[in-house]
Amino acid sequence: MKQLTIQSSQRNYPIVMEAGLRFHVKKWLNKKYSSILIITDDQIADKYLQDVAGSLDNEQIYSCIVPSGEASKSIEQYYKLQTKAIGSGLDRKSLIIALGGGVIGDLGGFVAATFMRGIDYIQMPTTILAHDSSVGGKVAINHESGKNLIGCFYPPAAVLYDTETLESLPYREVRSGYAEILKEGLISDNRLSEELLAFSLKQLSSDQLENHLEAGIKVKANIVEEDEKESGVRKYLNLGHTLGHALEATLGYGKITHGEAVANGMLFALHVSEDVKGVELPFNKLYNWMKINEYPIVDIEEERIAKLIKSMKSDKKSVSGHIQMVLLNKVGEPAVENLDDSSVEAYIRTYIERMKKL
Ligand SMILES: NC(=O)c1ccc[n+]([C@@H]2O[C@H](COP(=O)([O-])OP(=O)(O)OC[C@H]3O[C@@H](n4cnc5c(N)ncnc54)[C@H](O)[C@@H]3O)[C@@H](O)[C@H]2O)c1
Ligand SMILES: [Zn+2]
């Protein structure tokens, strides 16, 4: 078992990582809850919902299964869950358990944050990517104009990570999650990123996975403890997300996974960093790693450039019409830069040329 504690302004909460943890959830409840609502999705329910429900001895346990996928982070789904919570008689002493990937964590967390002005919730991540999303208390749903536009900071009561649940993840989701671990390496630690970039995900053992998850969670935990509300260093976690989010939005949500989009965004961020900072970065290594691990490498067509720029400008990170990007002075040393749209457009063009030569 691995455990660490996160200190946030509202509360301190444990992150516990252990194989088979879903059979022992009760042990981690630090108070008696009047009722419990488990929120999960239809890919996870058959596999793990009964295990979690069966590990609780509460008399009033309810569950709600939402369709899997990003589309569930919607106002309609949010409203249905509030209706379910009200209809089931949840009160201010109730608990919500978000059992799933980042979609369920963000959605279930936002329901908990706003139900009767906020009740406790526990994150039970079931994807690799959710090692990132379950820590730090950012919860949100999407608006049709953009991702995560409706949300708040609301720390969970605990993060209970049963690593055994990761065994049923499809390879595509393994790949998606590893992009965020690599991001944590690139912004903080040359050793972790070197190790990851030399690594084929198809040879991944469960020990290696646990070590990588632990390393990633530590990076995230240190950053969110220092800057809970993203006024400073927390922005570094957005490496690869400026172009990444724009790719997700312009290709259509679900076409590529969040992590696949972030991997493409990181490649672009390294390209821009090399020019802005006048340094050499592991651009080719990242490109080869993406190839070996079968990340889709997005071909940016001329017609798409204007849409991408528009999308990057409407990102909630952008300030006064500038596009905000996280760049690297070197691996392990990130910096936030606000670039005007004409320079970003020029960088997209030189990036397209560079990619053609690879
Ligand atoms: N709050 C944050 O700080 C933060 C950080 C990063 C990402 N996010 C959000 O996280 C979301 C992406 O999360 P995700 O990649 O986990 O997506 P997801 O929740 O959609 O899960 C990916 C897919 O895997 C399936 N799945 C989940 N667990 C499984 C398991 N154990 N076995 C088999 N299949 C399983 C799901 O049904 C889904 O189809 C995005 O909405 C993103 O905005 C939030
Ligand atoms: Zn992300």
Residue 152 in this model has a pLDDT that exceeds 80: yes
Q: Are 263 and 196 in contact (CB under 8 A)?
A: no
Q: Report pLDDT for 199.
A: 87
Give dist(CA 116, CA 161) in Å, integer: 27
Q: Report pLDDT for 87.
A: 98
Q: What is the pTM of this model?
A: 0.95
* 177-356 shares the fold of 2-166: no
Residue 287 in this model has a pLDDT that exceeds 90: yes
Q: What is the mean pLDDT of residues 257-279?
A: 97
* Side-chain half-sphere exposure of 18, counting CA atoms within 13 A: 16
Residue 253 in this model has a pLDDT that exceeds 80: no
Residue 326 in this model has a pLDDT that exceeds 90: yes
Selected from 3.40.640.10, 1.20.1090.10, 1.10.10.60, 1.10.3720.10, the CATH number assigned to the domain covering 177-356 reads: 1.20.1090.10
Q: Report pLDDT for 210.
A: 95
Per annotation, catalytic residue among 22, 220, 235, 271: 220
Residue-wise pLDDT for 52-69, tens only, equals: 999 999 889 999 999 999
Residue 117 in this model has a pLDDT that exceeds 90: yes
> What are the C-alpha distances in Å from 133 to residues 55, 72, 262, 288, 329?
24, 16, 14, 27, 26
Confirm or reject: Cβ of 68 under 6 Å from ligand 1: yes
Distance 41 CA to ligand 1 centre (A): 10
Q: Report pLDDT for 319.
A: 73
Confidence of residue 252 (pLDDT cuts 50, 70, 90): confident
Residue 314 in this model has a pLDDT that exceeds 90: no
Selected from 3.40.50.1970, 3.40.50.300, 3.20.20.70, 3.40.50.1820, the CATH number assigned to the domain covering 2-166 reads: 3.40.50.1970
Q: What is the mean pLDDT of residues 134-153?
A: 92
Residue-wise pLDDT for 196-244, tens only, equals: 999 899 989 999 999 999 999 999 999 999 999 988 999 999 999 999 9
Q: Which residue has the higher pLDDT, 204 or 315?
A: 204
Residue 27 in this model has a pLDDT that exceeds 90: yes
Confidence of residue 147 (pLDDT cuts 50, 70, 90): confident
Per annotation, catalytic residue among 138, 212, 235, 317: 138
The protein residue with its alpha carbon nearest to ligand 1, atom 21, reads 101
Greatest CA separation for the chain: 63
Domain spans of the chain, in order of start? 2-166, 177-356
Kindly identify the ligand whose nearest atom is closest to the C-alpha of 107.
1
Q: Percentage of the chain with pLDDT > 70?
A: 99
Residue-wise pLDDT for 165-190, tens only, equals: 999 999 999 999 999 999 999 999 88
70 is in an annotated binding site: yes
Q: Are 109 and 156 in contact (CB under 8 A)?
A: yes
Is residue 322 part of the annotated active site? The answer reads no
